[in-house]
Structure 1
Amino acid sequence: MSTLPNERSVRSTPEGLLWEPSERWVRGTKGDVTVVDSRHPVLVWEPELPVPQYAFPREDVRQDLLRPAKHPRTGTHTGSQIFYDLEAGGELVENAAWTFPAEDLAGHVAFEWFRHPGRGLDHWYEEEEEIFIHPRDPHKRVDAMPSSRHVRIEIDGTTVADTRRPVLLFETSLPTRYYLPREDVRLDLFTPTDHHTGCPYKGTASYWSWRGEADVPPNIVWTYPDPLPAVHVVQGLLAFYNEAVDITVDGERLERPVTPFSAMLSRRRRT
């Protein structure tokens, strides 16, 4: 059993970590081997990461599968110095797990997720639902709502989409995303790519890139062909990065926001 206090408010540590007990039943597997099986996980937020991760009481972890890391990746997690390699199902995964230095989190082990391919477990489950990329943040909401607003999107002065039947997706700490019917988007001006991303709230997205000569980052348009049930209303609709296109809503031109995606889009331009 975890030694953490039975409190529901987010707590902080001198190392700058935030943590909160969770009541979800969480399991993680590598191949056919269950590595983690916990009914007392803890959500941890590191200062430099916008998403949470789980840490688990040691008794809920197959410690017999962990080995002191041969090449510990110190500096990759806040203050952490102790890292473990994982040996399961005939496979060795380096730096698959680590411990936080905070006294409040003593006796807990954290694992890499899909943000670092090849360094984490294969599958994670909350209750009976598989989850992807990172744990869902209990303090974050994602709401998709059909609307009759007039939305027009331009790239370098060219209107690439115009609709009065968008779906607005509101996600905590991010700008509103406008999802548009395909027939209201000039898809002839874009080329499909093999780029895909995953989201724990929405699912797996496919992308298109701009075919014109304007300085636009690749993979500027995306869709969720098979979204998660909570946002099923966006299925097959198309969205653009507000950070890189001009969006006008009900006659009002929106300012381009600065978000964690802005730096990513800038790097795409350079590459």
Structure 2
Amino acid sequence: MATFPTARAVRMTPEGLLWEPSERWVRGRKGDVTVVDSRHPVLVWEPGLPVPLYAFPREEVREELLRPAKNPPTGTHFGSRIFYDLEVGGGLLENAAWTFPADDLAGHISFEWFRRSGRGLDHWYEEEEEIFIHPRDPHKRVDAIPSSRHVRVEIDGTVVADTRRPVLLFETGLPVRYYIPREDVRLDLLVPTEHSTGCPYKGTAEYWSWRGDADVPPNLLWSYPDPLPAVGAVKGLLAFYNEAVDITVDGERVERPVTPFSKTPAARPPT
């Protein structure tokens, strides 16, 4: 009889790093140059960070493009042993790659993701699908479920959305997000902005800010015009940061959550 593991296959190094082999085919590019082409990547979770990184066997990395870092940083990536600059396309990307200080990960190299840190490789693929910001956590679930709940949203006492046909997005470790049809949102009270973010689970989001004088952060409303297939139910719908507005569901006020988005929501990708 076949048996299947029931616990996470994550391992911990003596230094406190969590890691797990992945069976996904992962490629990383800078422009048109493929720097990483790996069928044996490893997911690594640094202490205190909720999202993983990839580390790759050296033989699946184009090491000839790496140079010992001229100005290696300190106190980043959990005390990494060695940093590398990446020379590609006639340019030099400082501290684009590093090794972790763990014997379990000896022989592996990690890379910065441009859309996460502002430097590093700018295109990443799992199999044939491009992913953004960071690898997708295999232990995280995202479900977009149509609902008939009555959802009302207020900003500084003004009702800005009222619907009985939301889509509720449940994402592991984060508060429920209420995606609302455009017809049920007072978009005349908001203004579109140039801001956008990418999410490896949902796609690329566009934003709106509040027009009024209320003390709320900018970019507090977002939408995915072309979401990834797994969350296709939110296509074109609008969601507010629970952390910045007042939401009532079926007559019950939802407590504002405290999350990494609480102070400056749009500084991080929406959920």
TM-score by length of 2: 0.93
CA distance in 1: counterparts of 2:266 and 2:86, whole angstroms: 35
Query: 2:65 corresponds to which residue?
Result: 65
Q: Does 1:116 align with 2:156?
A: no
CA distance in 2: counterparts of 1:183 and 1:201, whole angstroms: 25
Q: Does 1:255 align with 2:250?
A: no
Query: 1:4 corresponds to which residue?
Result: none
CA distance in 1: counterparts of 2:8 and 2:32, whole angstroms: 33
Could you tell me how far 1:128 is from its partner in structure 2? 1.2
SS of 1:28's partner is strand
In percent, how many aligned pairs have the same letter?
82
**Structure-2 change in CA distance of 1:265 and 1:131 (3 Å):** closer
> After the TM superposition, which residues 172-251 of structure 1 pair with which residues of structure 2 at under 5 Å, given as runs?
172-251=172-251
Aligned residues: 261
Q: Does 1:15 align with 2:15?
A: yes
**Structure-2 change in CA distance of 1:18 and 1:263 (3 Å):** farther
CA distance in 2: counterparts of 1:130 and 1:102, whole angstroms: 29
Query: 1:49 corresponds to which residue?
Result: 49
Query: 2:168 corresponds to which residue?
Result: 168
SS of 2:205's partner is strand
Query: 1:84 corresponds to which residue?
Result: 84
**Structure-2 change in CA distance of 1:167 and 1:30 (3 Å):** same
Report the residue type matching 2:116 in the other structure.
Answer: R
Query: 2:3 corresponds to which residue?
Result: none
Tell me if the contact between 1:18 and 1:45 (Cα under 8 Å) persists in the aligned partners: yes
Tell me if the contact between 2:219 and 2:266 (Cα under 8 Å) persists in the aligned partners: no
CA distance in 2: counterparts of 1:116 and 1:87, whole angstroms: 18
Tell me if the contact between 1:15 and 1:78 (Cα under 8 Å) persists in the aligned partners: no
Could you tell me how far 1:74 is from its partner in structure 2? 2.1
Tell me if the contact between 2:78 and 2:100 (Cα under 8 Å) persists in the aligned partners: yes
SS of 1:262's partner is coil
Tell me if the contact between 2:219 and 2:265 (Cα under 8 Å) persists in the aligned partners: no
CA distance in 1: counterparts of 2:88 and 2:45, whole angstroms: 27
CA distance in 2: counterparts of 1:100 and 1:155, whole angstroms: 45
Task: Report runs of 4+ in structure 1 exceeding 2 Å deviation.
Answer: 263-268
Could you tell me how far 1:8 is from its partner in structure 2? 6.8
Could you tell me how far 1:48 is from its partner in structure 2? 2.6
Could you tell me how far 1:266 is from its partner in structure 2? 10
**Structure-2 change in CA distance of 1:108 and 1:8 (3 Å):** farther
- Where structure 2 has 5 or more consecutive residues not aligned to the other structure, the ranges are 1-6
Tell me if the contact between 1:24 and 1:41 (Cα under 8 Å) persists in the aligned partners: yes
Q: Over the residues paired in the alignment, what is the CA RMSD in angstroms? A: 1.6
CA distance in 1: counterparts of 2:264 and 2:106, whole angstroms: 35
